[in-house]
């Protein structure tokens, strides 16, 4: 079970898992040997709204860093998610077809999107934010969101 950095803004609490890296858009990457599991951060899933549909690129698809790995459909919008790692989609979470709302319920656990066979994880990781840097970005973005209310 990962540890979390927590931020509470108004009535919202956002958690950032400290055992993974993040792209600026809030897609996380967790190294598992030569594979990398990816999913949405808690902040991204809360900001996006309830996920009604998730379409992840099929197994065998080769992606460059930043290519669209999935699209989620929420009440608010359709959101394109950029891959935080270059490589091939090795596995797609089967829950995405049946219960995509698991993204909202457990974004760092059962709500993962896919597992990638990374071409060069060390190179990709260097382009991502560590947990503290992403947490700082979440703080900044959450404060901006609150100003709009």
pLDDT in tens, 46-77: 999 999 999 999 999 999 999 999 999 998 89
- From first CA to last CA, the distance across the chain in angstroms is 34
What is the 8-class DSSP label of residue 125?
H
What is the 8-class DSSP label of residue 129?
B
Question: Are the CB atoms for 67 and 83 separated by under 8 Å?
Answer: yes
> Length of the chain, please?
149
Distances 28 to 12, 96, 138 between C-alpha atoms, Å:
20, 17, 13
Provide the pLDDT for residue 120.
Answer: 97
Provide the pLDDT for residue 57.
Answer: 99
Provide the pLDDT for residue 34.
Answer: 86
Q: How many other CB atoms are found less than 10 A from the CB of residue 56?
A: 22
Q: Domain-by-domain residue ranges, the chain?
A: 43-128
Distances 60 to 41, 47, 121 between C-alpha atoms, Å:
24, 30, 18
Provide the pLDDT for residue 10.
Answer: 86
d(CA 136, CA 141): 9
Class of domain 43-128: mainly beta
pTM over 0.75: yes
Q: What is the pLDDT along the chain (149 residues), one digit of tens a residue?
A: 789 999 999 888 999 999 999 999 999 999 999 899 999 999 999 999 999 999 999 999 999 999 999 999 998 899 999 999 999 999 999 999 999 999 999 999 999 999 999 999 999 999 999 999 999 999 999 999 888 87
């Amino acid at each position: 079970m990962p540890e979390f950095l927590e931020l509470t803004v108004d009535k919202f609490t956002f958690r950032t898992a400290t055992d993974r890296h993040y792209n600026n858009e809030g897609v996380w990457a967790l190294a598992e040997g030569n594979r990398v599991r990816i999913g949405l951060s808690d902040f991204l899933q809360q900001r996006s709204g309830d996920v009604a549909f998730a379409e992840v690129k099929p197994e065998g698809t080769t992606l460059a860093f930043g290519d669209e790995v999935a699209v989620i459909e929420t009440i608010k919008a359709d959101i394109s998610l950029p891959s935080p790692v270059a490589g091939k989609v090795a596995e797609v979470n089967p829950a995405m077809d049946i219960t995509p709302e698991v993204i909202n319920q457990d974004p760092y656990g059962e709500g993962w999107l896919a597992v990638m066979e990374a071409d060069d994880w060390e190179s990709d990781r260097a382009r991502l934010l560590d947990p503290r840097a992403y947490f700082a970005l979440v703080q900044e973005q959450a404060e901006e969101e609150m100003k709009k209310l």
